[in-house]
């Protein structure tokens, strides 16, 4: 396998993680896909798969989890298009048959296949499919479908999962001639311990931002909080999303593999932030494409934008309730 390491960069939404990704890609031997790679944390991803196969195993549950995972991988594999189902195109991006690698991964953690007819085979059927099954049953014909029987222990599951993710990016690293693969939003900052373990030779950078500027950005973009009582929703959302942060810091969860940065420092303390990143990642690569992807001046207009908000009462509420998260 190619000798490369993962750099995972994550944020909390509107917190500025894309600035860090752009900066990292300016360094020699560092690159990564331009799309988010969320296979660990998304619904039907690796966390859900481990939960059903290892932690909460049940006779039928694990088969459904595997099928859901493979359906999710099919979406990641295929290309998107106007007249196509949603797809992320990772087969093309990573120079591999993504679906083939995913099936081989499942085969390595699966004990055997068998045939059975359960209610779980029926609840997703459309009307025509359901009618056909009822008709077959009436004539005593079998509706049995192939099912997975998979019960790996935690050690084997993690070993094969790391192997799978390494294989998925091997061709990409070779073709790009890189030693560090940058992944966008691969690790959940709200569940570091759970999702970080799936990647071999990994480091995680988490970027956060002044809550007042995040709120201002959401207002400008009309993001998910809406307008009615938006500041109270925002404060509650912000607290819940970052609820795990204090615990992770206090208990030193994976602190040797996690670097926390502020978005504002990419502008206000550009050189110092670069040095922190290089020291954390233990790299001495040449910053050969400096300012080609990220110019610190480009985010000047995104720092302190809360001052432009007409409703400064809302800002005062944020300052009161989210004081510990404010920059500086």
The string of DSSP letters for 225-290 reads T-STTHHHHHHHHHHHHTHHHHHHHHTTTTGGGEEEEETTHHHHTHHHHHHHHHHHHT-----TTT
How many CB atoms lie under 10 A from the CB of residue 267? Answer: 20
Query: What is the torsional sign of CA 10, 11, 13, 17?
Result: negative
Instruction: Answer whether 146's CB lies under 8 Å from 62's CB.
Output: no
pLDDT (0 to 100) of residue 78: 96
Q: Would the pLDDT of 254 be above 90? A: no
Confidence of residue 144 (pLDDT cuts 50, 70, 90): confident
Residues 216-237: tens digit of each pLDDT: 998 888 876 655 668 998 999 9
305-315: average pLDDT = 91
pLDDT (0 to 100) of residue 255: 75
Q: Which of the pair, 144 or 260, is modelled with greater confidence? A: 260
pLDDT (0 to 100) of residue 141: 79
Please state, rounded to an integer, the average pLDDT across all residues of the chain.
91
d(CA 93, CA 34): 9
Closest listed residue to residue 198, CA positions, set 154, 162, 164: 162
Q: Which residue has the tokens 């992807």?
A: 293
Strands 112-116 and 258-262: unpaired
Confidence of residue 103 (pLDDT cuts 50, 70, 90): very high
Burial 275-284 (b: 16+ CB within 10 A, else e): eebeebbebe
Q: Would the pLDDT of 82 be above 60? A: yes
Please give the structure tokens belonging to residue 113.
């296949």
pLDDT (0 to 100) of residue 131: 80
Its pTM stands at 0.91
73-95: average pLDDT = 93
d(CA 32, CA 178): 9
Residues 155-168: tens digit of each pLDDT: 999 999 999 999 99
pLDDT (0 to 100) of residue 34: 96
pLDDT (0 to 100) of residue 191: 87
Q: 15-24, 122-131, 139-148: which has the highest mean pLDDT?
A: 15-24
d(CA 165, CA 183): 12
Confidence of residue 120 (pLDDT cuts 50, 70, 90): low
User: Coil, strand or helix: which one is 277?
Assistant: helix
Ordered by where they begin, the domains of the chain are 3-32+178-328 (3.40.50.300), 114-149 (no CATH)
Confidence of residue 243 (pLDDT cuts 50, 70, 90): confident
Query: Among residues of the chain, what percentage have pLDDT more than 70?
Result: 94
The string of DSSP letters for 190-204 reads TSHHHHHTTSSSEEE
**Residue 163 DSSP label:** H
**φ/ψ bin of 64: left (φ > 0), alpha (ψ from -120 to 50), beta (otherwise):** alpha
Q: Would the pLDDT of 99 be above 80? A: yes
């Amino acid at each position: 396998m190619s000798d490369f390491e993962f750099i995972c960069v994550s944020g909390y939404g509107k917190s500025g993680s894309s600035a860090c990704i752009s900066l990292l890609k300016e360094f020699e031997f560092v690159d990564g896909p331009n799309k988010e790679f969320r296979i660990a944390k998304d619904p039907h991803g690796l966390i859900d798969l481990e939960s059903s196969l290892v932690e909460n195993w049940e006779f039928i549950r694990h088969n459904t989890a595997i099928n859901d995972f493979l359906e999710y991988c099919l979406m990641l594999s295929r290309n998107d298009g106007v007249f196509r189902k949603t797809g992320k195109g990772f087969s093309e991006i990573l120079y591999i048959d993504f679906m083939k690698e995913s099936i081989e991964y499942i085969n390595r953690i699966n004990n055997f296949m068998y045939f059975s007819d359960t209610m779980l085979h029926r609840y997703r059927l459309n009307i025509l499919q359901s009618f056909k099954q009822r008709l077959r049953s009436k004539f005593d014909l079998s509706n049995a479908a192939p099912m997975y029987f998979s019960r790996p222990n935690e050690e084997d599951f993690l070993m094969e999962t790391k192997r799978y993710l390494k294989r998925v990016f091997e061709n990409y690293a070779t073709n790009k001639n890189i030693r560090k693969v940058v992944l966008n939003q691969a690790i959940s900052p709200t569940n570091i311990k759970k999702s970080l373990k799936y990647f071999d030779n990994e480091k995680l950078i988490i970027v956060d931002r002044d809550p007042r500027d995040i709120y201002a950005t959401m207002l400008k973009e009309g993001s998910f909080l809406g307008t009615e009582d938006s500041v109270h929703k925002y404060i509650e959302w912000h607290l819940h999303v970052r609820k795990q942060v204090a615990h992770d810091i206090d208990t030193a969860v994976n602190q040797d593999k996690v670097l926390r940065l502020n978005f504002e420092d990419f502008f206000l303390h550009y050189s110092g932030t670069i040095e922190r990143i290089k020291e954390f990642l233990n790299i001495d690569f040449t910053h050969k494409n400096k300012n080609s992807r990220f110019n610190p001046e480009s985010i000047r207009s995104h720092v302190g934008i809360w001052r432009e908000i007409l409703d400064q009462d809302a800002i005062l509420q944020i300052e009161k309730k989210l004081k510990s998260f404010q920059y500086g």
